[in-house]
Amino acid sequence: MAGIPEEKLQELRDRIDIVDLVGRYVGLKRSGKNFSACCPFHSERTPSFYVNPERRSFKCFGCGVWGDGLDFVIRMDGKSFIEAARELAQRYGVQLPAGLKDTTTSAQQTERDEAYAINRAAAELYREILLTGEEGQLGRLYQEARHISPETAEAFQLGYAPAPAEAGWDRLTRHLQRKGLSLPLAEKLGLVARSERTDNFYDKFRGRLMFPIIQPGGAVIAFSGRILPEYAQDQEGREAPKYMNSPESLLYTKGKTLFGLNLAGQNMRRAARAILVEGNLDVVTLHQRGYRETVAPLGTALTAGQVALLGRFAESVVLCFDGDNAGKKAARAAIPLLLDAGIDARIVALEGGVDPDTAEPARLAALLEQPGSALEWLMRAMVAAGARDSIDAQDRALSALAPLLAKVKREGARELYIDRAAKLLGLPPGRISSALQGSREAPRPPPAPAAGPSPHPARSGPARPLPELPRSQVALAALLVDNPHLATLAEQAKVQDYVTDPRLAPIVRAVIEAAFAGEQPGEGELLELVDAAAHRQVHDCVFTGLYREVEHPQQELAGRIYDCQRDVLKQRRLDIAAQITQAIERGEQQQARELSLLRHDLNRQLAELERQPPSFNSSAAARP
């Protein structure tokens, strides 16, 4: 690639910690030698995306995307090669030569790179002004008044955009100009505007505490500014909006970004939950109090794209919205989106007029310790609004509730909710269950699109459907994958004779061989053994973890082998039946008679097999 000397590039590649890097964007779980997650490049609910720290690479068995750390950032953030290299070099301490120019970059990419540079310059200026600038006095006082510590301000890279009274109308404009950056492009990013009267550029953010919106990789893509109380009204007495956010731009899509994600990502994974608040200041405050898994949806109602982002890191989301009506409404709107994504929705319900930033810390801490179920909160709100006052009201509440209950993925949890709903609404549980049946038969909405740029089309085209995997063999393979300690027993029982499907056989063989060598291969390594076209299919059937906590693994093994034996016998009986038909059609009576005897013998074997309960003493009885 033009620009960066090859040895520098190698140094950079060697220094990138791919687990750290990718872990900023998705919640990685250890899986053997590798790490796995739900793929950030396509929509999925079971992980098929793997990071291999040894090879410093990532690969998705679902959509086929793969590459190294540089490729990952280019794909995730839509960066050019040079821009991605620059960012990673800075993070991992590699000195790149100055004045790099990538001659292969398109005009569009050059514009993106310059847009990143403009945002970076603006964030640095705002930060500097808040830290030490003469024109940042009021900003510093406001930071103090909101009890934001210097460390927290640094972590969020908070800044201050001075008001005209403090630094004129063009403090940022002049700074960008001096750096030789494009003002028309800064206008597209919503940082400056052009005066109709004088045709000069002037700053858009004025008199505001600035919250840069930062991608997990560290790039600033937009800003959110909170007006200082001093500037809440302009000279004509008009109320300024409390928060002003950058418009959508070539770098920034509102519905696919969360404020605080760059700091919260890995903490959400660790805490196994995300806390979702409404305002940027709430995020900052909660982080400062130790709740570093907190993010906010940036002035919009929560979107499916944002939920997909949350789902990459956490299985549970705690809604911690303002106690006013708007906050309650936002919570009500968020619940179905979370349930749709299979996320456990929890809630911390604050009293009217209280928000997470102003809530009494000890009380909020106690609430966050044990957040209640969002569904139950919803039911109680319905009852409080009169849902059991009349048959009509009960009926309306039931029709509103049934589709939500139907979205609860785990059956056990769903049953509990049905019981709770029955008690709260004063209806028999059967009534609720049948309402659920009705709403579950309704067509399901299409799955939420994955956030982030779409993968390369050539690598993601839908594959031809493959023949279904034999179910009993899948179960046997999955059992062994989840319980490699069964290897000796499995080998003695000759399981490899039963798992014959070419998509499953290599996995079973590898699990047994590795177990004898004292190793446990990860899912990624095992999938590598299978034809690429079948990766997705095998992954979704075999690596489900279904047998991970099975109570009697040996008994289970006997049972799964038994199923395979029976299926093998049944398949042979089907084959022979077809051969008999053919023989009769061809008039080969003798052949047909011999085949019939074989079929008779198979029937006898099957009957014998079915008389014996599956156990290891009988497993040799009817081997094919």
Binding footprint of Zn ion on the chain (CB under 5 A): 39, 41-42, 60, 62-63
Identify which of residues 48 and 472 has a Cβ nearer to Zn ion in the complex.
48
Q: In whole angstroms, what is the distance from residue 87 CA to residue 102 CA? A: 15
Among residues 363, 306, 366, the alpha carbon closest in space to that of 337 is found at 306
Select 41 or 377, whichever has its Cβ closest to Zn ion. 41
Q: What is the rounded distance in angstroms from the CA atom of residue 505 to the CA atom of residue 508?
A: 5
* Least distance (Å) between residue 520 CB and Zn ion: 24
Nearer to Zn ion, 31 or 473 (CB): 31
d(CA 237, CA 363): 38
**Please, which residues have CB within 8 angstroms of residue 151's CB and are 6 or more apart in sequence?**
none
Q: How far is the CB of 39 from Zn ion (least distance, A)?
A: 3
Helix axes 391-407, 411-425, angle to 10 degrees: 170
Q: Could you tell me which residues come within 8 angstroms of residue 337 by beta carbon, excluding any fewer than 6 positions away? A: 302, 303, 304, 307
AA identity, residue 331: A
Question: Which ranges constitute the DSSP H helices of 207-254?
Answer: none
Min. distance of Cβ 43 from Zn ion in angstroms? 9
Q: Find the shortest distance in angstroms from Cβ 331 to Zn ion.
A: 31
Minimum Å gap between C-beta 529 and Zn ion is: 20
Q: 25 vs 377, which CB is nearer to Zn ion?
A: 25
Measured from the CB atom, the residue of 57 and 373 that comes closer to Zn ion is: 57
Dist CA 256 CA 245 (whole Å): 14
Q: What minimum distance in Å lies between the beta carbon of 56 and Zn ion?
A: 19
CA torsion sign for 531, 535, 539, 541 is negative
- 407: tokens are 């979205």
Shortest distance in whole angstroms from residue 533 CB to Zn ion: 15
Reading the block at residue 314, the tokens are 């956490």
Closest separation between CB of residue 49 and Zn ion, Å? 6
The smaller minimum CB distance to Zn ion, of residues 58 and 291, is found at 58
Nearer to Zn ion, 60 or 495 (CB): 60
Helix, strand, coil tally for the chain in percent (to 5): 50, 10, 40
Residue in 449, 488, 414 with CA at minimum distance from that of residue 341: 449
Task: Tell me whether residue 273 or residue 536 sits nearer to Zn ion (CB atom).
Answer: 536
Give the integer Cα–Cα distance in Å for 400 and 398. Answer: 5
